[in-house]
Structure 1
Amino acid sequence: MSDLRPVPGGAPDEGAPSGPDLAGLLRQSARGDESAFAEVYDAVSAKVYGLAVRVVRNPAQAEEVAQESLLEVWRTASRYDPDRGSPMAWILTIVHRRAVDRVRSAESATRRDAAYHDRNRSVSHDETAEAATASLEAHRVRSALSTLTEVQREAVELAYLQGYTHTEIARALDLPVGTAKTRIRDGLIRLRDTMGVGSGR
């Protein structure tokens, strides 16, 4: 399978049959049937890319994640167990795992670069004052967080203290993504009001 790059937003040809038997096609793919896998690819590539781009938020990286995921589907088709869920759910689970791994890998690389920069940069004359100011601001934020409801604080801390994406937060808290976003938004509004930050208007 030499070319598995999905076309962003692509969809199967209008003349293609609707609702293919993905479970059957995966069984054929597991036996090395490339034409069966091509049908799987046509049926799922748009959804695979769509999920990848929602998680990694970078079209180029989403294409790479989609390609890697589809290759994994091809290589591990024999592992699909219809008793444990639908073919599409199995495929999208693979995509989500790879996309989250890509995000975490990128965040880890960013932290390593930042740490290297901090270790090797020159110390400026006002660094102590800046550190003290940052410490005071952090104390204000922690105090303000204590005024949030438990569900708001949980969502805000996951987003801004632990660096999780909205999708990861929704998955971690077993919530729809929209609900997770609402909790974060409401928490930030309350934090702004508690800390006396102007609305900018």
Structure 2
Amino acid sequence: MDRMSERAGRLGAAEGPPDSLEDLLVRAGHGDERAFEQLYGNLVPQVFGLVLRIVRDPAQAEEVTQEVFVEVWRTATRFDPTRGSATAYAVTMAHRRAVDRVRSAQRATERERASAISEQTPPFDVVSDQVEVRLEREQVRRCLGSLTQLQREAVDLAYYAGYTYREVAEILGANVATVKTRMRDGLIRLRDCLGVTSGAAR
């Protein structure tokens, strides 16, 4: 991470008043490499920190962080500052990349385990449980897609990335009360989409 920190320090020493991260990302979407370098310098510590918390390996965290910023550069044209902050855009992308890396490692481990016991036939109840879990995950993913951009960002950052209300508020550029309202409304919509009712028996 030393190389990243040194580069971020040099970039942070640029002369003149700092542009907003949203302006930098929009300019990067128009091919402005200097704007992207400034964006990188501002966001890399936060992105790396989040990725490291998830993958728990510094070398892999550096790799994933670089992948995130490559994706940010490639998709910068899609960024709409009216729908969310540049920080939330990058952090959400970082979280998804990091989770994908962890899941990929888990799948590799599972394949090795499955290969070692390939001669054994899993009991029916084990297969049934696996199918049920997979279906539940698909339903949750579909329901998350029904939320507004702001609701999804707040829920993603708080429940999947592990940020506190105050940290989510700082990332999204909103006050804590607004963040709590977004999350409450988003969780209510998720509950309704998933068909969960208080006191209902499954």
Relative to the length of structure 1, the TM-score reads 0.54
Q: Distance in 2 between matches of 1:58 and 1:46?
A: 15
Q: 2:3 aligns with which of 3, 7, 17?
A: 7
**Gap change, CA 1:90 and 1:66, over 3 Å in 2:** same
Alignment check: 8 A CA contact 2:47 2:65 kept? yes
Q: Partner of 1:98: helix, strand, or coil?
A: helix
- Correspondence for 1:131: none
Percent sequence identity over aligned pairs? 44
1:6, distance to aligned residue in structure 2 (A) = 7.9
Task: Give unpaired runs (5+ residues) of structure 2.
Answer: 121-155, 166-202
Task: Name the structure 1 match of 2:62.
Answer: 63
Q: How many residues align?
A: 126
Change (3 A) 1:175 1:112: same
Letter matched to residue 7 of structure 1: R
Q: For residue 15 of structure 1, report the CA deviation from its aligned partner.
A: 3.0
Residue 7 of structure 1 and its aligned partner are, at CA, apart by 3.4
Deviations 1:62-90 (A, max 9, x none): 11110110000000111111122111011
CA distance in structure 1 between the partners assigned to 2:61 and 2:161 by the alignment: 24
Aligned to 1:93: 92
Query: Does the 8 A contact of 1:23 with 1:82 survive in 2?
Result: yes
Question: What CA distance in whole angstroms lies between the structure 2 residues aligned with 1:106 and 1:79?
Answer: 30
Quote how far apart the aligned CAs of 1:22 are: 1.2
Which ranges of structure 1 fall in alignment gaps of 5 or more residues? 122-167, 178-201
Larger-gyration structure (1/2): 1
Q: Summarize deviations over 1:11-33 as a string: whole Å, max 9, x none.
A: 42463467541111111111111
Aligned to 1:83: 82
The one-letter code matched in structure 2 to 1:46 is P
Q: 1:69–1:95: 8 Å Cα contact kept in structure 2? A: yes
C-alpha contact (below 8 Å) 2:95/2:161 kept by paired residues: no
Distance in 1 between the 2:28 and 2:161 partners? 35
- Within-5 A mapping of 1:41-60: 41-60=40-59
Q: Does the CA contact (< 8 Å) of 2:50 and 2:161 recur in 1?
A: no
In structure 1, give the amino acid aligned to 2:9. P
TM-score normalised by structure 2 residue count: 0.54
Q: Deviations along 1:84-105, whole A, 9 cap, x unmatched? A: 2111011100000100111111
Partner of 1:171: 159
Distance 1:39 1:74, change over 3 A: same
Matched letter for residue 43 of structure 1:
N
Supply the distance in 2 between the matched residues of 1:19 and 1:51 (Cα, whole angstroms). 24
- The match for 1:37 is 36
Contact 1:29 1:37 in 2 (8 A): yes
Residue 23 (structure 2) pairs with residue 24 (structure 1):
yes
Cα displacement string for residues 22-52 of structure 1 (whole angstroms, at most 9, x for unaligned residues): 1111111111111111111111111111111
How far apart are 1:118 and its partner, in Å? 2.0
Cα RMSD, aligned residues only: 3.0
